Amino acid sequence: IGPLSPHPEPGERDDEATLRPRRLTEFVGQSRVREQLELVLEGARRRGSPPDHVLLSGPPGLGKTSLAMIIAAELGSALRVTSGPALERAGDLAAMLSNLAEGDVLFIDEIHRIARPAEEMLYLAMEDFRVDVVVGKGPGATSIPLEVAPFTLVGATTRSGALTGPLRDRFGFTAHMEFYSSGDLERVLRRSATILGVDLRPDGAVEVARRSRGTPRIANRLLRRVRDYAEVRADGAVTRDIARAALAVYDVDELGLDRLDRAVLGALVRTFGGGPVGVSTLAVAVGEEPATVEEVCEPYLVRAGMLARTPRGRVATAAAWRHLGMEPPAQAPG
Ligand code: ADP
């Protein structure tokens, strides 16, 4: 859905690999999570045993995959990667688990989408480092216990509320990732500019950070777009004015709202008088999937103070009316 999507765009993976922080000290921001993780890893190192299983929760693009890689690197362990949707049958997971070596880190992205039978197998593996593989069908079926090498599971989820209780309880440590502050995004941008050889000026960094929706993946993407503009239309230096001009070309506004965000706010205000209105109705009005509106637009609109969630539906704040150049009605929340 355009330059402000928190999901990677096709072909963007290589750039991400270049820019990915490799060690905990390179990982910008999220200082609480970093400190907690440091203790978990150091404790395990001293005891000489694998650390507790780790759950990373938070919106896309905030660094969950990067942290999983960092955990493995800090432990000096191999990383095995899979995802919830890839584990459709228990056998898929059994194959993955039986290939683990002692101390390996198993990363399961989108763990809330794991199928039920695989999830149940995972409980036993996480707790006792063994699985029961069922062979055959019907009354003749037998269950064969299989040992699994002690490993550390790192699960990532954008919807921790969608995890079942038993699964959530088996993680010894849960890290909640927050949107990044502008200051932290400036640091992400400076680091990326150094790696990519971009002449990013301080006022340019401020401008790009402000429009990056608290998300490092978006900050890095906007940096690449702004670099193109600076090289093609100017002398290559990314200043505030260049950043502004470049981002105008991509329809990224002052607050980091894109076309879809503005369409959602516009419908809320113009069609529904500011709300309250249900999220599915709102999605239909802008011709988008409810999931996209709910998981991509909303979290940032709420954070930017443009939209409020109420029990009766979504409501536009006074700031939203003003952002659209209109006078807010008296009942609009502040
Ligand atoms: P997620 O798994 O949460 O979707 P990723 O770990 O894939 O996010 O991060 C996306 C990109 O954002 C990475 O390739 C990396 O370049 C950048 N990034 C994320 N978090 C940080 C951070 N704390 N410091 C520097 N760069 C980061």
For residue 134, CA distances in Å to 5, 88, 140, 141, 146 come to 42, 16, 10, 7, 10
Ligand 1 centroid to Cα of residue 74, in Å, is 17
Is the Cβ atom of 9 under 6 angstroms away from ligand 1?
no
Is 64 annotated as catalytic? Answer: yes
Please measure the distance between the N-terminal and C-terminal CA atoms of the chain and give it in whole angstroms.
Answer: 29
R_g over Cα of the chain? 23
pLDDT at 66: 96
E-strand ranges in 33-179 read 54-57, 79-83, 105-109, 130-135, 142-147, 152-157, 173-176
Candidate list 64, 211, 227, 262, residue with the active-site label: 64
Ligand 1 centroid to Cα of residue 323, in Å, is 30
Task: Give the CA-trace dihedral at 192, 196, 201, 204, to 10 degrees.
Answer: -60
Is 109 annotated as catalytic? Answer: yes
pLDDT at 1: 54
Residues of the chain where predicted confidence (pLDDT) is lower than 50: none
Query: For the segment 246-280, what is each residue's pLDDT rounded down to a tens digit?
Result: 999 988 888 888 888 999 999 999 999 998 999 99
Structure tokens at 318: 């006074």
Nearest partner of 157 among 165, 168, 146, judged by Cα: 168
Query: For the segment 106-134, what is each residue's pLDDT rounded down to a tens digit?
Result: 999 999 999 999 999 999 999 999 998 88
pLDDT at 297: 87
The strand pair at 105-109 and 130-135 is best described as unpaired
Mutate to test the pocket of ligand 1, among 19, 20, 186, 190 (most ligand atoms within 8 A of CB): 20
Query: For the segment 303-333, what is each residue's pLDDT rounded down to a tens digit?
Result: 889 999 999 999 999 999 999 999 999 988 8
Mutate to test the pocket of ligand 1, among 160, 179, 184, 217 (most ligand atoms within 8 A of CB): 217
Which pTM does this prediction carry?
0.90
pLDDT at 13: 76
